[in-house]
Amino acid sequence: MARELLNILEAIADRPYISIGGKPYPLRLMDEFGIRDRVALRLGMAAFSKAAGPDLTLEEAGAADEALAGILALVFLDPLPGDVAAALTRAQKEMILAAFFGEMERRTREREPGAAEEAEAESPTSA
């Protein structure tokens, strides 16, 4: 009989998620991105930033929409259901990305040497 040794999803108890319509959609952690995904994320963000100007052509606007959809597909642990993804506005998609990158930055800072001691020293409850 097979025996489960480790369930990775359960091991990540503090996995961040985004609630859409009251349902949680878990996000991937940067540690879960392979090299290809990291490159795709970087290139997608560059394409989106480049094509996010005010004087876009229809072609550039389409490229920006495609880049944004590609980035969103990378940051969620599982793909969003099509109807959920289609219902999101551009502003909501940008808020999701801001939340994702903010959380990943926070987690990175926490893992840096001395981060726990600095956080404790800055805590309003520490004396």
pLDDT band at 72; cut points 50, 70, 90: very high
What pLDDT does 18 receive?
95
pLDDT band at 34; cut points 50, 70, 90: very high
CA distance 74 to 43: 12
Q: Is the entire prediction scored with pTM above 0.95?
A: no
Q: What tokens does 116 get?
A: 């726990």
What pLDDT does 52 receive?
67
CA distance 96 to 76: 10
